Amino acid sequence: MKIITWNVNGIRAVERKGDLQEFVEREVAEFFLFQEIKGQRDQFGAYLTEHADYDQYYHSAHKKGYAGTAIWVRKDFMKDCSDVSFHTHIEDAPNMDEGRISQLTFTRKKKVYSIFSVYFPNGGKSDQAWKEKLVFYDKVHAHMSKLREDGHIVIMGGDVNVAHTEIDIARAKSNDGKVGFHPKERAWVDRLIDDYWIDVWRVRNEDVTDVYSWWDMVTKSRDRNVGWRIDYFFLDKKYDKNVVGVQYLHDQYGSDHCPLSLELKD
C-alpha cells in the first residue's frame, strides 16, 4: 500500500502545468492525499473528476479558491475492499467549512482502515484563528484516538502546519515562538507522540537535518533549502513494523510543498 500526501497549493494549477499528470503516472500510488486544492468539483475538468484509474473524493471549502482536501484511491485496490465511506467532519472542530478533513474508511482483509488527508489551519490571521488552530489540533487527536479505540488502523497524512523541533526548521532561532513554530503547537505533536502515534519519517531519521517540505516561494528559499518540515504521516506505533519505506520527494515541483510518500505492508 503506497500512500502519498501533497499540499498542491491549487490542484487546477498543478494540473494545468502538467505536473500532476506526470506525478500520478510516475508514482502509481494506491492513495493520493491532497491538501489546499483551492477549488470545487464543478470547477474541475475530467482528469480531476473522471480519472480512469482513481476514485476521487473531494472536501472543498465553502469559499471558492481556498483550502480544501482530497483523497484519490486506485480503483483496482478498492476491488478488494468493502464498507467504503467518505467523511468530512469532526465533531466540535472549528473550520469545518474550509474543507480541512477528508477521511476514507474501508474494510480490507477483515481490517478496518481510516485514511486521512488533513490541512491544518495556519492560525496566523488573528487571535481567534490562533485559538481555533489549537482547538483543531486537539479535536483531530481525539478523533484519531477514538477510531483507534474502535479498532481502526488510522493513517493520517497532510500539512500539519507546525515544525516540531529545531531540526525541522532551517531558521529555528529567528522563528522561535512564531506561528508554525510556537511552543503550544509543538507541544501538541509531543502529546500525539506520547499517545503512541509516531511521526513516521522522523522515527526513521532521528537526527537527520536539512530535510524540509515547505519553502517560501517569494524569497525563493527552496533554491537555498531554507525551509520547514511541516508535512507528516502519523501512524499508530503498533503498526510501525508494517512500514516498508517513507521519504520526501524533493525532486517534485509544482507547489511550495513537496510530497511525502509512505509504503506499508498490507
Give pLDDT tens digits for 49-71: 999 999 999 999 999 999 999 99
Q: Which of 19, 76, 138, 159 is catalytic?
A: 159
| Residue 257, phi-psi category: left (phi > 0), alpha (psi -120 to 50), beta (remainder) | beta
- Can you tell me whether residue 18 is helix, strand or coil? coil
Cα end-to-end span (Å), the chain: 6
pTM of the model: 0.98
The CATH number given to whatever domain includes residue 24 is: 3.60.10.10
76 is catalytic: no
Task: Please tell me the total number of residues recorded for the chain in this structure.
Answer: 266
pLDDT in tens, 136-174: 999 999 999 999 999 999 999 999 999 999 999 999 999
User: Which domain range does residue 258 map to?
Assistant: 2-264
Phi, psi of 129, rounded to the nearest 5 degrees: -65, -35
DSSP per-residue codes, 62-73: SSTTS--EEEEE
What total number of domains does the chain contain? 1
pLDDT (average), residues 80-99: 96
**For 227-251, what is the mean pLDDT?**
98
